[in-house]
Amino acid sequence: MTVRVRYAPSPTGEPHVGNVRTALWSWLHARRHGGVFFVRIEDTDQTRLVPGSEGRILESLRWLGMDWDEGPDIGGPFAPYTQSERLPLYQAAAAALLESGNAYRCFCTPERLEELRNYQRENHMPPGYDGHCKSLLPDEAEARAVTGEPNVVRFNVPDEGSTTFTDLLRGDITVENVTLDDFVILKSDGFPTYHLAHAVDDHAMEVTHVSRGDEWIPSAPRHVLLFRALGYEPPIYVHTSIILAPGGGKLSKRHGAKAILEYRDDGFLPEALFNFLAITGWSPDGTTEVMTKEQAAAVFDFEDLNAHPATFDVEKLEWLNGIYLRQMSLADLSERFAQQLERDLPPEVPRPLDRAFVEEIAPLVQERVKLLPEVTPLVDFFFATELPAPDRETVLGKPFRERPEAARAALDAVVAALRPLELWEPAAIEAALRATAETSGEKPGDLFMLCRVSVTGKSVTPPLFETMAIVGQELSLARLEAAAGVAGSA
């Protein structure tokens, strides 16, 4: 059996971590077993469509590195892969179910259905359709439909017996048919509901495994009944656990329930988010946490998923992101930094940035950055030919606040020590500054901070000596002299 799995989103908004995690597991399962992963757009609920949503869905998968073998953009042997383009298939299936007696037309108005819901609510009855139109003779129902009277098609759930389906993570689950109402499979506008459309398509597209959230478990018996009534073999069901907020409860946006592309915009790496989603509810051995897509695909199997809810741990995601940044090659890291800096730096900084220059800077901050946007405030001064006039209080800081004349003298001594340097490199700069600290009687840490703030305008920067080497001798001396003038002013 060739494994065939699908990601079948509705283009009704941004793809979020929950359903993309389920798609990611399907992708891993297909890659592990040499199968097919395809995308199908389920757009039969025309009232909820959001313009641009389909493009964002595909962009999210591309960003995460999840390729697909068939889909709406590339086609495939079972095209089209957009449900609104497959309406005749669903209508034919509904007609076959009507013909076999496994479905019937329902002419109940929205007002009657609302009255029914209110009655059931007031009398503490389980919600569901009461079978009001089930007794209509088929010929009578068809005659009414021909006249244009609005109607839907409902599946005729057996009144007796039970339905059993197998969930790969939970085993056999049995439901009494009496607890299931006659659900709608074809709406009055001729579009199918999810129940009918996915059953027809999963059979037609030869889907072997259906992976979806465990909120679909109550609907699974209905789907099994539909498959059997249509003469189809049901797929293998994998109902995955939900993701909870830290401490339990529903995952909200402040806990991490964001759209996938928001994580990109927040500076997370796709490799880190992929890794994080893969292990949030699965582990190959109970201990391994850092793994590439290829490593995960080599060992993943649906059967190893945890049936219990997982917790969204944003601290772990940030930790993973830092790991991937630190493991990145210099060329790749520099390019990611350059792209981020081009988004963040002031417009007066010329674009594109000199990649070779960024590559000089990148190693200085590689160990300090967990998210890409953190790089900008650490290195923006490298790209400024002129820093704002130094603030006296900032230059002096705590060590020199009561001794401004000492700060002026120390900076003058630094300039005198650095100006003659013929080799402007970190070791020579460090030696000159340490010698100046010793001769001036200042603590090295205090002197270094004085120089750091003077050259960069910041108290937190990459390593001082490497920073000054990249800033250059002429510009470093100019900034030190300007700071000395400010420190000595009354």
Token pair in block for residue 79: 């095209």
**Catalytic annotation present for 253:** yes
For 100-109, the pLDDT digits (tens) are 999 999 999 9
Contact 389, 447 (CB under 8 A): no
Average pLDDT, the chain: 95
Same fold, 1-72+241-327 and 86-240: yes
* Residue 385: per-residue pLDDT: 74
- In this structure, what are the phi and psi dihedrals at residue 237, rounded to the nearest 5 degrees? -95, 135
pLDDT of 20 > 70? The answer is yes
* Residue 490: per-residue pLDDT: 57
What does the pLDDT average to over 338-365? 96
| CATH code of the domain occupying 86-240 | 3.40.50.620
List the domain boundaries for the chain.
Answer: 1-72+241-327, 86-240, 330-381, 392-488
* Residue 390: per-residue pLDDT: 76
Catalytic residue among 253, 258, 293, 370: 253
What does the pLDDT average to over 199-212? 98
What does the pLDDT average to over 22-46? 97
What does the pLDDT average to over 153-179? 96
| Omega of the bond leading into 444 within 30 degrees of 0 (cis) | no
Quick check: pTM over 0.85? Answer: yes
For 392-408, the pLDDT digits (tens) are 888 888 889 889 999 99
**Superfamily for domain range 1-72+241-327:** HUPs (3.40.50.620)
In angstroms, rounded to a whole number, what is the distance separating the alpha carbons of residues 49 and 88?
21
What does the pLDDT average to over 31-54? 96
* Residue 253: per-residue pLDDT: 66
| CATH code of the domain occupying 392-488 | 1.10.10.350
Contact 264, 270 (CB under 8 A): yes
Q: How many CA atoms lie within 13 A of 244 on its CB side?
A: 9
* Residue 388: per-residue pLDDT: 75
* Residue 228: per-residue pLDDT: 97
Q: Which residues pair with 38 in a beta bridge?
A: 6, 70
Helices (H), 266-403: 270-279, 293-299, 314-327, 330-344, 355-365, 375-379, 392-400
* Interior/surface letters 167-183, b for 16+ CB within 10 angstroms, e for the rest: bbbeeebebeeeebbbb
Contact 159, 67 (CB under 8 A): no
For 241-290, the pLDDT digits (tens) are 999 988 888 887 666 678 999 999 999 999 999 999 999 999 998 899 99
* Residue 327: per-residue pLDDT: 95
Token pair in block for residue 41: 């757009």
**Number of residues written out for the chain:** 490
In angstroms, rounded to a whole number, what is the distance separating the alpha carbons of residues 333 and 316?
21
* Residue 391: per-residue pLDDT: 80
Q: How many CB atoms lie within 10 A of CB 434?
A: 15
What does the pLDDT average to over 27-51? 96
DSSP secondary structure of 104-158? EEE---HHHHHHHHHHHHHTTPPPS---TTTTS-HHHHHHHHHTT---EEEE---
What does the pLDDT average to over 416-444? 97
